[in-house]
A and B are shown apart, each in its own frame.
Chain A
Amino acid sequence: EAQVTQNPRYLITVTGKKLTVTCSQNMNHEYMSWYRQDPGLGLRQIYYSMNVEVTDKGDVPEGYKVSRKEKRNFPLILESPSPNQTSLYFCASSQPRFGTEAFFGQGTRLTVV
């Protein structure tokens, strides 16, 4: 089954404790990205990757890091989480061909206290 898998689904952590949210896709998609969803703001892009070892900042990259060492995996790293990073996070993947939809992971609800 074609899917994007994120882990964990839920996470409560304390300020400053480094964490990683994993994302893996099995569709051989070149393009992957991370979004955060906040009430009234919709989804905003954090980082994206065009292919292995190619990443770039989205609209809200501050406080986040990413890496793309393999085509299927695109982890999101919060080196020192803060309460304003409490949000619902989505990983997405798609083919670069214009007009194709993005496939989203199940979401990770992160709470930083």
Chain B
Amino acid sequence: AQKITQTQPGMFVQEKEAVTLDCTYDTSDPSYGLFWYKQPSSGEMIFLIYQGSYDQQNATEGRYSLNFQKARKSANLVISASQLGDSAMYFCAMRERGDYKLSFGAGTTVTVRA
């Protein structure tokens, strides 16, 4: 069964605006971690932000914030004040405590327009 679902294959956003990338997950493990990675056209995987299942507050890292809704099993990434350099593919991933594996979603391609 798919553990991570990203329903938006592609999105366009205007420069300086905010964009929300959806991610829902499925797990029965009460202890898990959620990660977002960015993959620019050059191909490398860049870690952006992490949220633990027991964290009380939503994670933030600069212009990135994670809208964590545990009951709904969603972990949406919000990018504020989009820049042209934010154009990339974004992956949501989950790791359950009983496993070292990262389970990835299919990814969302973001294109920032000037």
Contact = CB atoms under 8 A, between A and B. Distances in A.
B107 A33 contact: no
Interface stretch (B12-20, B42-50, B67-75, B77-85): B42-50
A43 B102 contact: yes
**Band of interface residues on A:** 20 to 34
Nearest to B104: A42
A101 interface: yes
Contacts of A44: 104
B4 interface: yes
Contact of B100 (A41, A48, A59, A103): A48
B100 A106 contact: no
Interface of B: 4, 6, 9, 31, 33, 35, 37, 43-45, 47, 50, 52, 91, 93, 95, 97, 100-102, 104-107
Interface of A: 31, 33, 35, 40-45, 48, 50, 58-59, 88, 90, 92, 94, 96, 98-99, 101-104, 106-107, 109
